[in-house]
Amino acid sequence: MRKPFVAGNWKMNTDSHTSISLAESIVSGSLETAGQSVSVAVCPPFVYLQAVAKALSASSIAVGAQDIYIESQGAFTGEISASMLKDIGCTYALCGHSERRHVLGETDELINKKVTAAIGGGLLPILCVGELLAEREASRTNEVVTRQIKNCLAGLSIEKVSAVTIAYEPVWAIGTGLTATPQQAQEAHDFVRKLLLQMYDAQLAEEIRILYGGSVKPGNAGDLMAEQDIDGLLVGGASLSADDFIAIIQAAA
């Protein structure tokens, strides 16, 4: 039985004041009921991570990083390692988010190193995959997702892969208001689970959580979560409103 998981990706939003007030509102508005039955995490910008982790420390809400670097320390100006993130109370790290792939030019090979570094540093990676609109229109969704998952998990043992959460985020649905229909998302999630069954074993495929992301709102969260292979939601814009994020958590409960 997979416990639902809702994560908020704040992207490059909030400031030193609003990051804390958002975290506090999420705690006070929720979650002692839904929090028991749903895993919840928020991923603030790096500079506010420590303060948000502190604000959430008495709650069951976890903190995740939006990215990590592949090395653990050294002369890598501007980068942040898994061990630093672990040190300040992070549990999760997004790896290969669509904006990092398509705006910052990250490759599957780099993302594979990030997933490996996250696990090595004691973090739980959330590996993001998803196709572009042109790829969906050319019926290449399964091919693209297969390539991303195989490349980004290359070289990891089954024990290590069991630390991973997959997030299916079709690029055309991110920040566009165009959500995948529950059926489209379910089809992709079912495909991913069967791929993982082929790559690993039945237990891993059954237990791994696959989140959907892309214009998730309170109004569509329930229908998405009703699908058999949608185990949770990775929420961008709507996670910046405590009321919307709490409503989404409740829909997932």
Q: Does 186 bind ligand 13P (CB under 6 A)?
A: no
Nearer to ligand 13P among residue 95 and residue 149 (C-beta): 95
Nearer to ligand 13P among residue 121 and residue 213 (C-beta): 213
Q: By CB under 6 A, what part of segment 221-250 binds ligand 13P?
A: 234-238
Is 135 among the residues known to form the active site?
Answer: no
With a CB cutoff of 8 Å and minimum separation 6, the contacts of 140 are 131
- C-alpha count within 13 angstroms, C-beta hemisphere, residue 175: 9
Nearer to ligand 13P among residue 157 and residue 248 (C-beta): 248
- The helix (run of H) or strand (run of E) holding residue 167 is strand 165-168
Under a CB-based contact definition with an 8 Å cutoff, are residues 135 and 144 in contact? yes
Q: Does 216 bind ligand 13P (CB under 6 A)?
A: yes
Closest residue by Cα to residue 169 from 4, 2, 7, 3: 7
Q: By CB under 6 A, what part of segment 60-119 binds ligand 13P?
A: 97
In the chain, the amino acid numbered 198 is Q
- Report which residue's Cβ sits closest to ligand 13P: 236
Is 102 among the residues known to form the active site?
Answer: no
Using CB under 6 A, count the residues that bind ligand 13P: 14
160 class by beta-carbon count within 10 Å (0-12 exposed, 13-18 middle, 19+ buried): middle
Q: Does 214 bind ligand 13P (CB under 6 A)?
A: yes
Looking up tokens 């390692």, which residue turns up? 81
Q: Which of 99, 131, 169, 227 is catalytic?
A: 169
Q: By CB under 6 A, what part of segment 148-177 binds ligand 13P?
A: 169, 174-175
Looking up tokens 């502190």, which residue turns up? 54
Q: By the criterion CB under 6 A, which residues form the site for ligand 13P?
A: 9, 97, 169, 174-175, 213-216, 234-238
The residues annotated as belonging to the active site are 97, 169
